[in-house]
Structure 1
Amino acid sequence: MVLVIVILVLAGIAVAGDRVAAAYAERRIASEVQKEGFGARPAVKIYGFPFLTQVLDRHFPHARLTARNVREGPLTISRIVGDAHDVRVDSGFRSGTIGAVDGTATVSFGALTKAAGQSDLSLTAAGPDTVKANVDLGVGTATATATVTKVGNGIRVHAVSVEGFPLSDLGDDLDFTVPVTGLPMGLRFKSLKVSSTGIALRITGSHLKFSG
């Protein structure tokens, strides 16, 4: 019984030490990554066990990065979640590289219309690449349907139909492009789809560097 208790105590100490090592690595990596275009320190979660060996090797095969309210020009990205693979850091945890990142950046409908300067426009999801829009035309409110596509490095919203009014009455209210450039860490916007909460952008990157 004494031997069992000793083993359990030692195991507990080992797990606690492992968790301390992981927390240290997560904080240090997050602090340095923040300097690569994030307004606030992102959350970093390191996966795998044991953590201590990863910290000693300064090599983390899989981590997850989460950031909120990231400003990108006129656009505010409400949430970025990215899976980072092959993360390596120097001995002081002051710089490093990420082999690859694959994730999602979510832009709310409100943030999209605000960035486009369309204050009288309200959007809701209507399909994987389609939105419904309520447009204030002054003489009344029109309900329109628009497609949402990736054009270059931008989010293109383009009206295709409207109820009760000629399509031409919409003018540019539902025909605009919001650029998405200068994402943190040099991440790139690859594709998009419409979700219930906004526009989900697939973002990727490879051989990314971070340095304090």
Structure 2
Amino acid sequence: MRVARIVLIVVVILGGLFVVADRIAVHVAESKAAERAQSSEGLATRPKVSIEGFPFLTQVAGGKLHDVTITADDIATGDGQQAVRIDTFHADLHGVKLSGDFTRAVADTADGSAFITYADLTKSAPKGITVGYGGTDKNGRAMVKLTGSFMQSQLSVLSQVTVRGADQIGLHAEGLPKAFTALGLEDQVRQQIDFTTQLTHLPSGISLTDVTTGPEGITVAAAGKDVVLAN
């Protein structure tokens, strides 16, 4: 019996050391992944990477991580008028396969969201146009409000934000003031207020799926399968 108790103690101690080693390994992996992401993407702040599931070491040995969560702030999506800054970003990756000496990573599925403030949307809008929250229309849809000037006259319209393609969102005015349409200026006005903006550098395999409008900004959702995270 005493031998059995000694063996049990040893097993418990070894198991505890394995847990400690496993947690140390996952912490180092999370830190290195965040550091590499910040460096390669030129991020102003380091993202937070969380590798879920236990034990971590057996996941690595098997070449596949169960679940990985990434959160990041202040992401510049690219240069140019159509690019827009992302205030906060969150992604959940499932079934991340590792290969090529850990230089390639592909997620079975991924979903996430990006929050964009109205101040940042304004920066990507045509010159002289300000984007803000517009409340809801008569059908209960959340809208954004675009204000500015056209031909020295003040202009204010409600627009809906929708997904356009895999990496773009578009703003389209629901209606224009009669003062402009009566003069046949609808096309000219729409060239000033209807615009698209792009979320650049999305991973291969992921696409924008939906936009939610709120008082502080918009939330853009994305999802995909066989998402290439590194190659």
TM-score range, shorter chain: 0.7 to 0.9
Say which SS state the counterpart of residue 70 (structure 1) adopts: strand
Distance 1:132 1:211, change over 3 A: closer
Unaligned runs of 5+ in 2: 1-5
Paired residue for 1:112, among 109, 113, 121? 121
Say which SS state the counterpart of residue 55 (structure 1) adopts: helix
Distance 1:122 1:112, change over 3 A: closer
CA distance in 2, matches of 1:11, 1:180: 46
CA distance in 1, matches of 2:224, 2:93: 9
Distance 1:39 1:204, change over 3 A: farther
Say which SS state the counterpart of residue 52 (structure 1) adopts: helix
TM-score by length of 1: 0.75
How many residues align? The count is 209
* Larger strand fraction of residues: 1
- Quick check: 1:69–1:76 contact (8 Å CA) kept in 2? yes
1:39 corresponds to which residue?
42
1:80 corresponds to which residue?
89
CA distance in 1, matches of 2:108, 2:145: 39
Say which SS state the counterpart of residue 25 (structure 2) adopts: helix
For each residue in 1:108-136, what CA deviation from the matched residue of structure 2 results, as whole angstroms up to 9, or x when unmatched? 22222211234441412524541134435
1:207 corresponds to which residue?
226
Distance 1:93 1:59, change over 3 A: same
For each residue in 1:140-194, what CA deviation from the matched residue of structure 2 results, as whole angstroms up to 9, or x when unmatched? 755432222223343221223578x836589244322223454245532122121
Higher relative contact order (CA 8 A, sep 6+): 1
1:156 corresponds to which residue?
170
Paired residue for 1:100, among 101, 105, 109? 109
Amino acid in structure 2 at the alignment position of 1:154: Q
Say which SS state the counterpart of residue 228 (structure 2) adopts: strand
CA distance in 1, matches of 2:179, 2:206: 40
2:75 corresponds to which residue?
70
Q: Does 2:191 match 1:175? A: no
CA distance in 2, matches of 1:9, 1:147: 61
Q: Does 2:202 match 1:198? A: no
CA distance in 1, matches of 2:87, 2:93: 19
Q: Does 2:32 match 1:19? A: no
Q: Following TM superposition, by how much is the alpha carbon of 1:6 offset from its aligned partner in structure 2, in angstroms? A: 8.7
**Alignment RMSD (CA, Å):** 3.7
Unaligned runs of 5+ in 1: none
